[in-house]
Amino acid sequence: MAASMTAPRGAAAQRPGLACTNTSSTAVTGTLQVNGQTATTVSFPPTGSTRGTVSVQVHVTKGSTNSLTVTGGPALGTLTVGPVPAADGTLLAGKQSGRCADIHDNTVTDGTQAELWDCDGGGNQKWSGT
């Protein structure tokens, strides 16, 4: 399966979700290659007859169309791409409102402004100092 995606400006790391169905009883491996870089092995666990999703982290060219190619492995469905979620960080909540500083839709576009939103603990609400 070959797919293309456009990376948002300012985002070098993305997390594509590869939808697949693996009806075997064991994991099936395939290779993933991004923009002709060195290929990496991806393991697709058994899903039975229902479609599952495997997430991988890749580095892509900012603001450009990027090529993702998967060879081997099970039949793939759709490709969804999202920013890498925050692994660490602290919620920044208002004392009076109890609402959190939030980045709408987990966007990683330069210049995106934070907004106040109900706290849900998502990666788009986790902040860390630099």
Residue type, 12: A
Two tokens at 43? 């393991």
Please indicate, yes or no, whether the overall pTM of this predicted structure exceeds 0.75.
no
Q: Which of 31-68 are b and which e, b meaning 16 or more Cβ less than 10 Å from the residue's Cβ?
A: ebbbeeeeeeebebeebeeeebebeeebebeeeeebbb
Q: What is the mean pLDDT of residues 85-111?
A: 76
pLDDT at 9 over 60: no
pLDDT reported for residue 52: 80
pLDDT at residue 81, as a whole number? 59
Give 50's DSSP letter.
S
Is the alpha carbon torsion for 80, 23, 50, 28 positive or negative? Answer: negative
CA–CA separation, 113 and 104 (whole Å): 8
- Greater model confidence, 25 or 59: 25
Asked if pLDDT for residue 128 goes beyond 60, the answer is yes
